[in-house]
Amino acid sequence: MKFELTVLGCSSATPTKERHPSAQVLNISDKLFLIDCGEGTQMQLMHYKIKFQRIDHIFISHLHGDHYLGLVGLLFTLHLFGRTKEMHIYANHDLLEIINLQFKASATNLLYPLIFHPLTENISETLYEDEKIRVNSFPLIHRVPTHGFLFVQKNALLHLDKEKIKELNIPFKYLNKIKQGEDYIDGNGKKYMNSELTLPPQSSKSYAYCSDTAYSSEIIPHINNADLLYHEATFMHDMESNAIEKQHSTTLHAARTAKEANAKRLLVGHFSARYDDLSRLLEETRGAFPYTELAQEGVTYIV
């Protein structure tokens, strides 16, 4: 099952010529989820040829401008494109007032239903669930109410042993039940155990998104064993005092979180505009957690 992340923006509050504010698209079995929507997100979606009409769920971590100022523009463009299907937004309750004010001022009545899901402060909750994925929120430590998001792939169906299925000439109508774990009884009444007909399923995957946050051990239980962890690393560690004051993280804070959560891989981003050479941040983070990559715009990471 496809499970891949494309980074659209990796800058912190101030964008640079090369780096845009926070935004990511997570593709799970060709269902697209937008995570944060900083200024210029719709342009990045177009630039990287992402079919953003397929985005039905948008998750906004908090209401600092670099994480949501591109949202109204994107919603308006979808309106101009004639969208009619629902759009779901998950964010702090104050964002709904901002959206409504923007559209009221421009006398815009969206052609599609906008369904708003307010996040509950200081708790973890399930925001979205279908047959393939579950999305949970969890609280982060920042100057305004902020949430991280965990995307968890549900246990996949069993794989069919194609040679065995062909050998027994099992009718198509039984295949889905076999994938779900049922045994098979042929026309002569002979029973074949499910284990004879199937192979183990693909292991489930998980992606954790830790937006702006200070280091806190309270985050760890929510992201344990993530296959891919995105964590902000606004500053190098020599600016730890600045990070603590602004409730952000350094490279080593991100590495510590990844290590304590037993994450398989770490993706760092939200870089301060003061850094032109990001290789220094990568080197410092890898020194504490070797399985680290930089969040680079336009790059797709396989979870």
Please identify every residue annotated as catalytic: 66
List the one residue out of 83, 79, 8 whose CA is nearest residue 49.
8
**Backbone φ and ψ of 235, nearest 5°:** -125, 155
Structure tokens at 250: 């350094």
Neighbour-count burial for 235-248, b at 16+ CB within 10 Å, e otherwise: bbbebbeebeebbb
Distance CA 209, CA 132 (A): 19
Residue pair 127/120 in contact by the 8 Å Cβ criterion: no
SS (H, E, C) the chain: CCEEEEEEECECCCCCCCCCCCEEEEEECCEEEEEEECCCHHHHHHHCCCCHHHEEEEECCCCCHHHCCCHHHHHHHHHHCCCCCCEEEEECCHHHHHHHHHHHHCCCCCCCCEEEEECCCCCCEEEEECCCEEEEEEECCCCCCCEEEEEEECCCCCEECHHHHHHHCCCHHHHHHHHCCCCEECCCCCEECHHHHEECCCCCCEEEEECCCCCCHHHHHHHCCCCEEEEECCECHHHHHHHHHHCCCEHHHHHHHHHHCCCCCEEEECECCCCCCCHHHHHHHHHHCCCEEECCCCCEEEC
Structure tokens at 97: 């007032």
